Structure 1
Amino acid sequence: MPTYVDLSQNPRGVTIYAVFWPLTAGATLFLGLRLYAKILRRRQLWWDDYFIIIAWVLLLLSCCATSVNVRHGFGLHQEQVPFDNLSVFGIISNISGFSSILSVAFSKTSFALTLLRLVTDRWMRWFIYGLVFVLNVTHYLSAIFFWVSCDPPAKTWNPTLDGECWPVSVTVNYSIFVGSYSAFSDFVLALLPWRILLRYNMYNREKIGVAVAMSMGVFAGITCIIKLTTIPVLKKGDFSYNSLPLVLWGYIEPACTIMAASLPMMRHLFKSFRRPNEDDSGLESTTLSVEPQVYTREDRFRPRAVVNHESKA
């Protein structure tokens, strides 16, 4: 039976709780408001909604797994972790890292799918497809490596077994590559809305509002860059104690991505609290819809984003 560690003896574990659960609550709130905005407007869920829901489930799994591991000694020096906990400790650590990385992939894929609704240029659509394909492949491999980086594979979660594992430098170098590409994807997906929205006949304040809402992924990119600076701690050994910054920023990244990807959908919810005749511009208001539309044969060359004009009463 595992031996539970009292939180008073594990201050780093308390830090994990103080970061993970508020972020989980924030991601839950943003996702809930996103889905409520859909229900309020009587819109059906689409692929980007399903992907971000899966990302949230994986984020919650990572949070719960890491929280349980804190009670097993995560945050203490390796020699302070009770010996009976080592096997369970390793399995839960793998589950936490595995789900956290997949949450990153699913949340960023969700935003890319949302962005594809606005794209009309074929080259840009293929560019986004390629960007997301590489993003998913690299992250899926990174997640799988948690379970297959040792021979036998069971040694990945039970260090007491005889066997060999990949050099730490391999894990560090590949993780830096994946993180760098992930940050690059964040900044690209955050800048593309500005390029796309320039073609639409909208008021400047509307364009800026929509573009800013769809560019919040830049914060996920910033957190990813910060996470990159913490990856070399893996070379120091004593994973339970030294990996705290990496684990924290590895969790902050998908949480921020889920919140950033939910924000554009909440714009309609905010607008619903304002009466249409409260527009003080004296002009007609313009709204941009990114919901999937049904097109006729003649509409195939028109933008996928639909601009609706609502005359002021």
Structure 2
Amino acid sequence: MGTELSQSYLDESRAPLVQGVMWTMAVVALVIVMMRLYVRVAMRHVFGWDDFIIIIAICCLVAYAAVCHVASTIGLGRHLAFVEENPENLINVALLCDIGESLAIMACTLGKTSFAVTLLRIVVQRWMIALLWFVIVTMNVINILAALFVFLQCKDPRHLWNPAIPSKCWPDSVFTDFSLFVGGLCSCTITMDDCLEFANEKKEKIGVAFAMSLGVFAGAASIVKTTYLVALSAKADFTWELAPLLWWAAVEDGLAITAASIPALKPLLVKMFPSTVDNNYDMISHPSVPRGKIFDNSQGETQTDIGHSSVHDNGSQTAILGPALPRKGENINMTTEVSVTVHHSGE
């Protein structure tokens, strides 16, 4: 077999691309999350469940990049014929890839969950709340099962990275088909979150549009990643064929986490660029919160900017905020005070 393979074939490597894509997505997402946490904790003095979830998500993404980086130094992204020259490296690559797959699944799931929890805090329509809870529960159950199935598809999980250990396993097509289903579900989940966000904002704003565009790109990355899932059952050259699947998973994870964090950055951008940031940037307006009230994820912590205001002939102003409509006979009075100062000169 060695005579059939050219040296150029054996020297081919996707390892630099694996490392570059992994760390680029992890570092960019990490910086955005750190900026988000600075705004939430240092500037707004609040910390919600969506912030806690996004921290776990970025930890999973950084760990995923680290695991794949190590795997790429010993054979991931190289042809199987090259890696087989050192059987121990082949076993370690297979083990690290399995660990990486589970981390990637959880990073993506938690990033989307964080965004859904943020939406839970700002939506007011009951059908939106019910749909969001359905998405959160369904997405987490299915993806947690997918992360576990990476290791549970064989009675003895060690067989997955060391075929010399005998074990009874599922047919390769079973896990591949389930992975395709999960990949399709993730794409639909991103699209659904974007639709819910847009439905909650009758007027599309810059920050919302940017976050939604990242969500669309994350959905596109999920679709591309899904096309590579067949590599899970293509054992002929898995160290080479698995690389695109893993880096597209990193792209999806990084974009999902970044999209979940972008809408919270308005106060920091206003501070950095006070004359260039439009007041309509953010989809979420965070009022001042007492300094002692750190961990709060209640409705009172976040003020939504939905509905519209109108001034009536009698001089009162009412704000329609979803279901909380003013009762008949009640008005919100608006008083405008004007102060005029006249300066006389030459007298």
Deviation of residue 39 (structure 1)? 3.4
Moved more, 255-264 or 147-156: 147-156
1:227 and 2:225 are equivalent in the alignment? yes
What's the TM-score once normalised by structure 1's chain length?
0.82
Structure 2 contact 54–110 (Cα < 8 Å) conserved:
yes
Matches within 5 A, 1:182-201: 182-198=186-202
Moved more, 56-65 or 36-45: 36-45
Match of 2:256 in 1: 257
Q: Structure 1 residues 40 and 170, CA, compared in 2 at 3 Å: closer, same or farther?
A: same
Q: For 2:124 and 2:269, locate their aligned partners in 1 and report how far apart those are by CA, in whole Å.
A: 27
Q: Structure 1 residues 185 and 294, CA, compared in 2 at 3 Å: closer, same or farther?
A: same
Q: Show CA shifts across 1:233-257 (max 9, x none).
A: 3333221111121111111111111
Equivalent residue of 1:165, what SS? coil
Matches within 5 A, 1:95-174: 95-174=99-178
Q: For 1:211 and 1:285, locate their aligned partners in 2 and report how far apart those are by CA, in whole Å.
A: 9
Equivalent residue of 1:108, what SS? helix
Structure 2 contact 75–90 (Cα < 8 Å) conserved:
no
Deviation of residue 94 (structure 1)? 1.5
Structure 1 contact 118–290 (Cα < 8 Å) conserved:
no
Matches within 5 A, 1:242-253: 242-253=241-252
Deviation of residue 139 (structure 1)? 0.7
Equivalent residue of 2:98, what SS? helix
Instruction: List gaps (5 residues or longer) in structure 1.
Output: 1-7, 199-203, 304-310
Q: Structure 1 residues 26 and 158, CA, compared in 2 at 3 Å: closer, same or farther?
A: same
Q: For 1:136 and 1:285, locate their aligned partners in 2 and report how far apart those are by CA, in whole Å.
A: 33
1:25 and 2:27 are equivalent in the alignment? yes
Q: For 1:71 and 1:280, locate their aligned partners in 2 and report how far apart those are by CA, in whole Å.
A: 44
Q: Structure 1 residues 120 and 103, CA, compared in 2 at 3 Å: closer, same or farther?
A: same
* Matched AA of 2:120: L
Match of 2:75 in 1: 73
Deviation of residue 107 (structure 1)? 0.5
Q: For 1:68 and 1:272, locate their aligned partners in 2 and report how far apart those are by CA, in whole Å.
A: 39
* Matched AA of 1:263: I
Among candidates 186, 206, 211, match of residue 208 of structure 2:
211
Instruction: List gaps (5 residues or longer) in structure 2.
Output: 1-9, 288-297, 302-320, 326-335, 337-347
Structure 1 contact 55–106 (Cα < 8 Å) conserved:
yes
Q: For 1:45 and 1:170, locate their aligned partners in 2 and report how far apart those are by CA, in whole Å.
A: 41
RMSD: 2.7
The structure richer in helix per residue is: 1
Q: For 1:112 and 1:183, locate their aligned partners in 2 and report how far apart those are by CA, in whole Å.
A: 14
What's the TM-score once normalised by structure 2's chain length?
0.75
Deviation of residue 76 (structure 1)? 1.9
Q: For 1:33 and 1:138, locate their aligned partners in 2 and report how far apart those are by CA, in whole Å.
A: 30
Q: For 1:117 and 1:77, locate their aligned partners in 2 and report how far apart those are by CA, in whole Å.
A: 48
Deviation of residue 209 (structure 1)? 2.4
Deviation of residue 178 (structure 1)? 0.4
Q: For 1:280 and 1:146, locate their aligned partners in 2 and report how far apart those are by CA, in whole Å.
A: 45
Q: Structure 1 residues 272 and 162, CA, compared in 2 at 3 Å: closer, same or farther?
A: same
Matches within 5 A, 1:284-303: 288-289=284-285, 292-294=298-300, 301-302=323-324
Q: Show CA shifts across 1:236-289 (max 9, x none).
A: 3221111121111111111111111111011222123354xx5999xx989742
Task: Report how many aligned residue pairs link the two structures.
Answer: 283
Match of 1:89 in 2: 93
Q: For 1:274 and 1:244, locate their aligned partners in 2 and report how far apart those are by CA, in whole Å.
A: 40
Structure 1 contact 148–156 (Cα < 8 Å) conserved:
no
Match of 1:5 in 2: none
Deviation of residue 79 (structure 1)? 3.3
Q: Show CA shifts across 1:172-199 (max 9, x none).
A: 111111011100010110121221122x
Q: For 2:28 and 2:277, locate their aligned partners in 1 and report how far apart those are by CA, in whole Å.
A: 33
Q: For 1:280 and 1:167, locate their aligned partners in 2 and report how far apart those are by CA, in whole Å.
A: 55
Q: Structure 1 residues 165 and 213, CA, compared in 2 at 3 Å: closer, same or farther?
A: same
Q: Structure 1 residues 148 and 46, CA, compared in 2 at 3 Å: closer, same or farther?
A: same
* Matched AA of 1:294: G
* Matched AA of 1:108: K
Deviation of residue 293 (structure 1)? 4.2
Structure 1 contact 51–107 (Cα < 8 Å) conserved:
yes
Deviation of residue 116 (structure 1)? 0.9
Structure whose alpha-carbon radius of gyration is higher: 2
Q: Structure 1 residues 235 and 37, CA, compared in 2 at 3 Å: closer, same or farther?
A: same
Deviation of residue 42 (structure 1)? 2.9
